[in-house]
Amino acid sequence: MLKNIKPSKTFIGKLSHGMDLLEELTALCIKENITLGRIEGIGAVQKARVGYYNQAEREYQFIEFNSHLEITNLEGNVSIKDNKPFVHAHVTLADEKGNAFGGHLAQGTVIFACEIILHAFEGLELTRSYDDVTGLPLWQD
């Protein structure tokens, strides 16, 4: 079910070198009090850690890349989980040969450089809670 929301503020900027990408995005949302939003970004990472959700086992498997990679796409959203802003983002990363791979952005991804645009919305409080069917913390209807 889709819901109508309105744009409120848009932020643009770069994230700090050497910091954790997911933690930086979350900290930014908390600082700016963004509880509903969209994140887009490009840049590069010093190393990466992404999740793949094993649907049969209903748990994330994590993949680590200990190499320098381009962020060819970072796309995510912001909603509320456990009464705090929560960032859910996916990344596509490319290596020195242009091979791309990616997954669910996890802690352990270290920024080399990252430019983001963060769109904040208003008009809805969107909260995540445990979903029995998938085992994931999904948006409540």
Q: Is 134 exposed, middle or buried (0-12, 13-18, 19+ CB in 10 A)?
A: exposed
Q: Cβ of residue 97: shortest distance to Zn ion, in angstroms?
A: 26
List the one residue from 22, 25, 29, 104 that touches Zn ion (CB under 5 A): 104
Distances (CA, A) of 66 to 35, 47, 50, 82, 103: 32, 5, 12, 31, 15
Query: In sequence order, what are the beta bridge partners of 86?
Result: 79
| 86 closest CA partner among 76, 97, 73 | 76
Region from 60-68, 101-109, 110-118, 119-127 binding Zn ion, contact rule CB under 5 A: 101-109
Q: Cβ of residue 91: shortest distance to Zn ion, in angstroms?
A: 10
Q: Cβ of residue 56: shortest distance to Zn ion, in angstroms?
A: 17
Query: In sequence order, what are the beta bridge partners of 138?
Result: 129
Judged by beta carbon, residue 8 or residue 64, the one nearer Zn ion is 64
Q: Cβ of residue 59: shortest distance to Zn ion, in angstroms?
A: 13
Judged by beta carbon, residue 122 or residue 139, the one nearer Zn ion is 139
Region from 20-28, 33-41, 73-81, 103-111 binding Zn ion, contact rule CB under 5 A: 103-111
